[in-house]
């Protein structure tokens, strides 16, 4: 191959080439965004529309349904879900993973413009892209310094006016969640008696402010060579200017707003609350943009807040910023652990090379491929738009021991040629040319198994993609380095004495004392290695030869038996691990109708309990629409997987001791959108009462299943409601319209939105409210004064019935139909797959048979995605087997030998399964068979076959070129290839071992995969030298004749290769 000879002879060019690869790799590394998990964000778009003062059913009918009906027309929508709460409609559009989310966003905006007219009081819809980055990466709370008191309303002003505008300038910052405090607004306080005296209604005030408090464009005016921009300026610049608008001008005179109302600054009705370590405050949840570098965003946010804190100190505000949660801390710890494992694996792989080769010069040539290969992978990752995250780094760490295998192949063959008297350069060229095709075939078996993974969609597919890219690209670069860099360095640095040391066991007398010590240590190691090789050679001989058919069957029965036993002991499937985020919380749902002040009071005992725990660092209570939670972070030394689990168990034991809650569920926040320890059941239908009854019955059955921790519903009924039902006859008698009654009630309670007011950089609502009217009880509402057309005063109870009743707190939809979702949380040792199957067979399937028409029950969330991913993964595994087999058929031009080679795949599966079983028997250790771990079986498909390729190739070579008999060739092939098999497997297993055994932040994501890979590869390495000769013997037994021995040209090239 000309490339090999060119690389060896033009060594300066080869050196420069790899220097450039390293340089571009380092540059690409700095360009890659650093994230917690792969940056493939789920394509979702949310539409949030405020409708102040409206109840859930009004929001559903007037806001949610019209928008949903238009959103059905958007191309590529997979599912539409919505929730209609008091004052807010939230709609989520979920798209297919391959959808162009930016084009979909344009489509959504266009369809939103086509929605039929919404109520005038409804606010403007807010459309946002949502994905994996939709939850805050940082929570920052404002706390008073010593000597100052907390003032949530003032803090809210600082956040809205100063802090958020400053943070928006930080690169990578997207959106904000701001619970706590009350926002400012402009209040127009109306005297209802003054209105009545002037024969005006509150609707007149609202209409005048809405129509006139705004600037109106006029268009251009061209006068000769000059063009004027014309606009009508009518927006009030000061609050008191609102009082100057004219309500009416007639013969009786002019009525101004100031005649019936007073304008002033005020506060909106409280809709959220936050307590930080017991003090009322305000917090900022910072959401990054998609693809932003989390540590860089965190660094920018901290720098900006440091500047603001110094500014506030100069202004005497007395405020400090407390970081309750920062995702970058978890990322930094996880990345440091992976980096440490990567370095440890590289060192262990290097030690294996030292013990096998006994020469530091030779080890340096081989080990140099590790950094040159891995750093080049970053070029491809940057080109493909991937991110640097725990999963991709773990993939590189898994590749550490595997990338040296091709280099080992070359080094051994170069030494073989040097023993024949060739010069180092000639041996490097011819030795590499002899094995390059075999290395190509071996590398392709490692790479092609990842091709079927394109079938896996969703969040798991994004994880698989990062590992696949890391392993496959590193394998390809290692092949390139093995046929260019390694032979070039071999021609420069290898010596004849090292060849004798390696193959003949001679004493190495060159070099310094350190090199001689290494050589002696290697000799001692090879002594024990030789004994193990002799033992395995003896086990192979036991089944080789005529008349040993039963022995061969016994040998074959060992891996088959182990495979069935391991399958029986196999833990059921899970979806994705939770991770070890330093954030635990109680998901709180007070009894229906609980007010915000009462909710704060109810949270006091749980907050006190958390603050009393010595491991707890901060406690934060959050109340905002659709979310009530008591969150806590642990001190860093306790924020481990065990520490977090223990705290959650402690919280769970106390959950029933706090009255006033429908449920109080402790929970760890998963790093993935679909956590692996809970699943959802959607109950879909038309009537809320019927849905509620089904929800109660199914929830009770789910709670009775073993392994279920708790069941919670997103539907809350029984919320207190006052319905004002007008009496049309009485209203006609006094001359008041129904619309005016509704407007007066709205103005007496939350205020009636009329316009907006620009105060500096902030846009404030202008609301019309009743002056000196306080409605705090149902009775006070009944006594609300109304004025008729002739100025007579009546109470609301005189013209309407105020009925106390209950209603839903939220109305949810799935694909435009009403629904209730039950979320079932599982115990840590309860497998998701088995629990989903149990719920389906014992609860859902029997109930479906008796459902009323128009109702249905569906599994969703993690359950739905687990089933989908399992199907896709099973198909990918089958295709990986098929592709590997076809590749081997092409390599050997035979349909028989690939079956012998592929028979090693079950041995790798057995080793992986047994490793998982043994790991789960270790006290305190739980290694679920999640989707990341299951990926190991596909990876093993392409790895474990390489040892069998080595043995089969060597046996065929001995039969053809040296004329050995069939049985003799099998034994000699096994004996000759045990050393390279152990060397390759040793570097791979030990290179991956730290990922499998070292605990720490982020290790829970890839530890199962590490255990499966190391166990499967080690197990197959031990069994392959015994089982493959037995299978070859059985092949002759069943064929009745000696099989053909002529391999393909590519197979011949593999004869001298020490393949993985």
Residue with tokens 């609707």: 203
User: What number of CA atoms fall less than 13 Å from residue 791's CA on the CB side?
Assistant: 4
Q: Which element (helix H / strand E) includes 767?
A: strand 762-770
Q: Architecture of domain 2-31+331-575+867-1053 in CATH?
A: Up-down Bundle (1.20)
Question: In three state form, how does the secondary structure of 478-525 look?
Answer: HHHHHHCHHHHHHHHHCCHHHHHHHHCCCCCCCCCHHHHHHHHHHHHH
Question: In three state form, how does the secondary structure of 902-949 look?
Answer: HCHHHHHHHHHHHHHHHHHHCCCCCCCECHHHHHHHHHHHHHCHHHHH
Return d(Cα 266, Cα 285) in angstroms, integer.
25
CB 106 within 8 A of CB 50: no
Return d(Cα 88, Cα 625) in angstroms, integer.
8
Return d(Cα 850, Cα 855) in angstroms, integer.
10
Summarised one tens digit per residue, pLDDT across range 680-707 is: 899 999 998 899 999 999 999 999 999 8
Q: Which two tokens stand for residue 116?
A: 């039929």
Return d(Cα 270, Cα 181) in angstroms, integer.
7
Residue 245 DSSP SS3? coil
Return d(Cα 959, Cα 447) in angstroms, integer.
30
Return d(Cα 856, Cα 848) in angstroms, integer.
7
What backbone phi and psi angles, to 5 degrees, belong to 377?
A: -60, -30
- What per-residue confidence (pLDDT) applies to 25? 93
CB 485 within 8 A of CB 18: yes
Q: Which residues, in sequence order, are CB contacts of 624 under 8 Å at separation 6+?
A: 177, 179, 271, 272, 273
Q: Which two tokens stand for residue 266?
A: 């005020």
CB 594 within 8 A of CB 602: yes
User: What number of CA atoms fall less than 13 Å from residue 224's CA on the CB side?
Assistant: 1
Return d(Cα 875, Cα 891) in angstroms, integer.
24
For residue 611, CA distances in Å to 281, 590, 634, 982 come to 17, 21, 11, 55
DSSP string computed for 192-212? HHHHHHTT--HHHHHHHHHHH
CB 931 within 8 A of CB 460: yes
Return d(Cα 179, Cα 629) in angstroms, integer.
12
Q: Which element (helix H / strand E) includes 982?
A: helix 966-997
Return d(Cα 119, Cα 67) in angstroms, integer.
12
How many residues are listed for the chain in this entry?
1060
DSSP 674: S
Strands 319-326 and 138-144: antiparallel
Q: Which residues, in sequence order, are CB contacts of 980 under 8 Å at separation 6+?
A: 408, 409, 412, 950, 1058, 1059
Residue 129 DSSP SS3? strand
Return d(Cα 736, Cα 165) in angstroms, integer.
46
- What per-residue confidence (pLDDT) applies to 394? 84
Residues with pLDDT less than 70, the chain = 1, 39-42, 130-134, 290-291, 496-513, 515, 673-676, 1039-1060
Q: Which residues, in sequence order, are CB contacts of 442 under 8 Å at separation 6+?
A: 405, 406, 409, 946, 949, 1054, 1057, 1059, 1060
CB 436 within 8 A of CB 878: no
Angle at 871 between CA 867 and CA 877, to 5 degrees: 140
> 184-267+720-807: what fold?
3.30.2090
- What per-residue confidence (pLDDT) applies to 349? 84
Return d(Cα 885, Cα 905) in angstroms, integer.
11
Q: Domain segments of the chain: what residues?
A: 2-31+331-575+867-1053, 184-267+720-807, 675-718+808-859
Q: Which CATH class is domain 675-718+808-859?
A: alpha beta
For residue 784, CA distances in Å to 659, 752, 757, 775 come to 35, 16, 29, 8
Bridge partners of 812, per DSSP, are 83, 819
Summarised one tens digit per residue, pLDDT across range 653-687 is: 998 899 888 888 888 877 776 666 788 899 999 99
Query: Taking the model in full, what pTM does it have?
Result: 0.78
Q: Which two tokens stand for residue 4?
A: 């090999």
User: Which among 705, 670, 718, 694 is positioned nearest to 821, based on CA atoms?
Assistant: 694
Return d(Cα 839, Cα 841) in angstroms, integer.
6
Angle at 380 between CA 379 and CA 384, to 5 degrees: 120
């Amino acid at each position: 191959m000309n490339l090999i000879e060119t690389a060896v002879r033009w060594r300066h060019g080869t050196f420069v080439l790899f220097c450039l690869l390293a340089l571009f790799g380092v540059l690409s590394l700095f360009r890659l965004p650093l994230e917690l998990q792969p940056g493939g964000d789920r394509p979702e778009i949310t539409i949030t529309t405020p409708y102040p003062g409206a109840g859930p059913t009004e929001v559903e009918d007037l806001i949610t349904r019209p928008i949903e009906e238009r959103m059905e027309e958007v191309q590529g929508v997979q599912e539409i879900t919505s929730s209609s709460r008091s004052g807010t409609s939230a709609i989520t559009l979920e798209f297919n993973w391959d959808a162009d989310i930016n084009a979909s966003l344009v489509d959504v905006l266009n369809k939103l413009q086509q929605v039929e007219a919404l109520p005038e009081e409804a606010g403007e819809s807010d459309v946002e892209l949502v994905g994996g980055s939709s939850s805050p990466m940082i929570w920052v709370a404002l706390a008073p310094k010593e000597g100052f008191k907390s003032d949530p309303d003032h803090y809210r002003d600082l956040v809205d006016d100063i802090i958020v505008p400053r943070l928006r300038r930080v690169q990578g910052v997207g959106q904000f969640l701001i619970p706590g405090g009350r926002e400012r607004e402009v209040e127009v306080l109306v005297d209802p008696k003054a209105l009545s005296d002037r024969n005006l209604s509150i609707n007149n005030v609202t209409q005048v402010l809405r129509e006139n408090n705004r600037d109106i464009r006029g268009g251009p005016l061209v006068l000769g060579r000059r063009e004027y921009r014309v606009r009508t300026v009518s927006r009030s610049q000061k609050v008191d200017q609102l009082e100057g608008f004219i309500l009416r001008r007639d013969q009786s005179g002019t009525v101004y707003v100031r005649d019936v109302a007073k304008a002033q600054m005020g506060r909106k009705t409280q809709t959220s609350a936050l307590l930080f370590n017991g003090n009322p405050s305000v917090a900022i949840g910072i959401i990054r943009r998609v693809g932003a570098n989390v540590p860089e965003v965190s660094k920018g946010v901290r720098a900006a807040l440091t500047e603001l804190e110094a500014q506030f100190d100069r202004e005497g505000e007395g405020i400090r910023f407390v970081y309750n949660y920062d995702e970058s801390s978890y990322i930094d710890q996880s990345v440091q652990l992976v980096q440490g494992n990567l370095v440890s694996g590289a060192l262990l792989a290097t030690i294996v090379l030292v013990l096998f080769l006994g020469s530091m010069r030779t080890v340096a040539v081989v080990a140099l491929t590790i950094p040159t290969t891995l750093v080049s992978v970053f070029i491809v990752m940057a080109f493909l738009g991937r991110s640097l995250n725990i999963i991709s780094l773990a993939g590189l760490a898994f590749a550490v021991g595997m990338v040296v295998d091709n280099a080992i192949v070359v080094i051994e063959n170069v030494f073989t040629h040097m023993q024949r008297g060739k010069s180092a350069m000639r041996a490097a060229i011819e030795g590499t040319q002899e094995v390059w095709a075999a290395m190509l075939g071996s590398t392709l078996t490692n790479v092609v198994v990842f091709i079927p993974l394109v079938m896996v969609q969703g969040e798991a597919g994004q994880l698989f993609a990062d590992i696949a890219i890391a392993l496959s690209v590193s394998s390809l670069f290692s092949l390139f380095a093995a046929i260019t860099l390694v032979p070039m360095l071999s021609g420069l640095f290898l010596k004849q004495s090292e060849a004798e040391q390696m193959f003949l066991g001679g004493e190495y007398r060159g070099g310094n004392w350190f090199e001689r010590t290494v050589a002696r240590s290697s000799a001692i190691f090879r002594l024990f290695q030789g004994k193990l090789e002799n033992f395995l050679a003896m086990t192979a001989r036991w089944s080789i030869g005529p008349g040993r058919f039963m022995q061969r069957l016994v040998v074959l029965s060992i891996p088959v038996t182990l495979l069935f036993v391991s399958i029986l002991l196999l833990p059921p499937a899970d979806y994705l691990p939770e991770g070890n985020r330093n954030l635990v919380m109680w998901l709180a749902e007070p009894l229906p109708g609980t007010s915000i002040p009462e909710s704060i009071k109810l949270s006091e005992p749980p907050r006190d309990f958390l603050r009393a725990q010595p491991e707890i660092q901060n406690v934060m209570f959050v109340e905002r629409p659709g979310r009530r939670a008591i969150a806590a972070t642990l001190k860093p030394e306790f924020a481990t997987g065990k520490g977090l689990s223990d705290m959650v168990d402690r919280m769970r034991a106390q959950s029933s001791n706090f009255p006033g809650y429908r449920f109080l569920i402790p929970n760890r926040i998963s790093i993935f959108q679909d956590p692996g320890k809970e699943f959802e059941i959607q109950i879909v239908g038309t009537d809320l009462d019927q849905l509620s009854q089904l929800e109660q019955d199914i929830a009770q059955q789910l709670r009775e299943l073993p392994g279920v921790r708790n069941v919670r519903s997103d539907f809350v009924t029984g919320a207190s409601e006052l319905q004002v039902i007008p009496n049309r006859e009485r209203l006609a008698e006094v001359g008041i319209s129904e619309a005016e009654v509704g407007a007066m009630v709205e103005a007496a309670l939350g205020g009636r939105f009329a316009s907006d007011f620009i105060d500096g950089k902030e846009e404030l609502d202008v609301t019309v409210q009743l002056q000196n009217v306080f409605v705090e009880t149902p009775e006070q509402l009944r006594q609300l004064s109304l004025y008729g057309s002739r100025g007579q005063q009546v109470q609301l109870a005189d013209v309407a019935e105020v009925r106390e009743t209950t209603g839903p707190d939220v109305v949810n939809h799935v694909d435009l139909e009403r629904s209730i979702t039950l979320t079932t949380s599982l115990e840590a040792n309860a497998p998701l797959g088995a629990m989903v199957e149990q719920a389906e067979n014992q609860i859902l399937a029997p109930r479906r048979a008796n459902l009323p028409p128009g109702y249905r029950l569906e599994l969703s969330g993690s359950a739905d995605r687990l089933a989908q991913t399992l199907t896709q993964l099973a198909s990918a595994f089958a295709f990986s087997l098929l592709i590997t087999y076809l590749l081997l058929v092409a390599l050997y031009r035979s349909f028989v030998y690939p079956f012998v080679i592929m028979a090693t795949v079950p041995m790798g599966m057995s080793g992986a399964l047994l490793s998982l079983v043994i790991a789960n028997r270790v006290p305190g250790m739980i290694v679920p068979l999640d989707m990341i771990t299951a990926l190991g079986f596909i990876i093993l498909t392409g790895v474990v076959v390489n040892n069998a390729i080595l043995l089969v190739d060597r046996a065929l070579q001995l039969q053809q070129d040296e004329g050995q008999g069939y049985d003799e060739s099998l034994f000699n092939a096994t004996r000759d290839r045990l050393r390279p098999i152990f060397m390759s497997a040793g570097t791979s297993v030990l290179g991956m071992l730290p990922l499998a055994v070292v605990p720490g932040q982020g290790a829970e994501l890839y530890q199962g995969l590490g255990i499966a890979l190391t166990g499967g590869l080690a197990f197959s390495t031990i069994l392959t030298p015994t089982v493959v000769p037995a299978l070859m013997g059985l092949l002759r037994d069943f064929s009745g004749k000696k099989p053909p021995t002529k391999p393909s040209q590519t197979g011949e090239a593999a004869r001298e290769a020490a393949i993985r």
